[in-house]
């Protein structure tokens, strides 16, 4: 008797995380935060409306591990933070010499435990692609620190990184390149790591949800493609898109621009993704 050939099992998509930068911003009180909510409970509330928050304040000052632990304790189990690395590291003249400072920063950040979604390393617009120094820096970024798994995303802001050599280097090191959708910075969506990290910077104050409905639907479609392992060809790339078919987690943050609208944009995108 012939044996029926089993159908291939469809891979489950990666997880989509949507959010905004930070959780303390006075104009969010009323439009986003309910009237009368005390400031010390804003993180508790925000983390139940969006699935991720990018902590930008760590760029200027590194909190101690107890602060990170307190933030983690205020959030639900399925929520994560992205932590922006301190400027005293990413603004160093020689990035390859920052190993000790990276270690001290991570000593605190791991206080987030399983709430640590990704670490964001944002370069200055003046930092050009120096293959040797950048390679040395990427070699300093550990997969784990004190038992906590780490995922690294690098945001480049100089056009010299729009180079196949950078893409190859980042892929070899397993580091994700941030897709910055902005008119002011290099914008390319080439996938270089095991997850996607997008920072969308075009929200408009006149739009209730920051973006017109058509644009939010388009971003929801891009996010669905990313988490399914696709590489959307209609986004800007340095080289030809490389769809792996391997599911990826995707972080999509609404940053800057009309900042007062960013929480609404993140909530709207999350709902579109849930309804898809």
Tens digits of residue pLDDT in 5-36: 344 445 688 999 999 999 999 999 999 999 99
Neighbours of 253 (CB within 10 A): 26
Instruction: Identify the pLDDT of residue 10.
Output: 53
230 or 275, greater pLDDT: 230
Please check the confidence at residue 56 and state whether its pLDDT lies above 80: yes
11 or 224, greater pLDDT: 224
The domain spans of the chain are: 16-275
For range 129-151, the mean pLDDT: 98
Structure tokens at 170: 């980042």
Instruction: Identify the pLDDT of residue 158.
Output: 98
With vertex at residue 45, the alpha carbon angle to CA 44 and CA 48, rounded to the nearest 5 degrees, is: 95
pTM of the model: 0.95
CA distance 83 to 53: 9
Instruction: Identify the pLDDT of residue 141.
Output: 98
CA distance 183 to 257: 11
Instruction: Identify the pLDDT of residue 12.
Output: 80
Looking at every residue in the chain, the average pLDDT score rounds to 95
Residue whose pair of structure tokens reads 């670490």 in the numeric block:
119
For range 251-267, the mean pLDDT: 97
Q: 16-275 maps to which CATH number?
A: 3.20.20.410
For range 201-205, the mean pLDDT: 97
pLDDT digits (tens, 9 = 90+) for 156-181: 999 999 999 999 999 999 999 999 99
């Amino acid at each position: 008797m012939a044996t029926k050939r089993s159908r291939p099992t469809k891979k489950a998509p990666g997880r989509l995380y949507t959010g905004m930068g930070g959780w303390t911003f006075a104009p969010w009180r009323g439009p986003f935060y309910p009237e009368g909510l005390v400031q010390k409970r804003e993180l508790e509330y925000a983390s139940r409306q969006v699935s991720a928050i990018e902590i930008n304040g760590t760029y200027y000052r590194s909190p101690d591990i107890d602060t990170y632990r307190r933030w983690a304790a205020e959030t639900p189990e399925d929520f994560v933070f992205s932590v922006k690395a301190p400027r005293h590291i990413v603004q160093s003249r020689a990035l390859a010499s920052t190993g000790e400072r990276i270690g001290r920063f991570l000593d605190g950040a791991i206080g987030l435990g399983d709430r640590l979604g990704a670490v964001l390393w944002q370069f200055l617009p003046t930092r050009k692609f120096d293959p040797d120094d950048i390679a040395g820096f990427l070699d300093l970024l550990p997969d784990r620190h004190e038992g906590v798994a780490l995922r690294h995303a690098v945001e480049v802001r100089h056009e010299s990184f729009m180079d196949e050599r950078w893409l190859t280097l980042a892929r070899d090191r397993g580091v994700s390149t941030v897709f910055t959708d902005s008119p002011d910075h290099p914008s390319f969506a080439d996938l270089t790591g095991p997850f996607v990290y997008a920072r969308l910077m075009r929200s408009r104050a006149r739009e209730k949800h920051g973006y017109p409905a058509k644009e939010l639907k388009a971003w929801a479609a891009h996010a669905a493609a990313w988490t399914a392992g696709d590489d959307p060809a209609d986004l800007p790339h340095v080289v030809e898109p490389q769809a792996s078919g391997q599911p990826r987690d995707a972080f999509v943050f609404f940053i800057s621009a009309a900042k007062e609208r960013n929480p609404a944009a993140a909530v709207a995108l999350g709902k579109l993704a849930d309804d898809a």
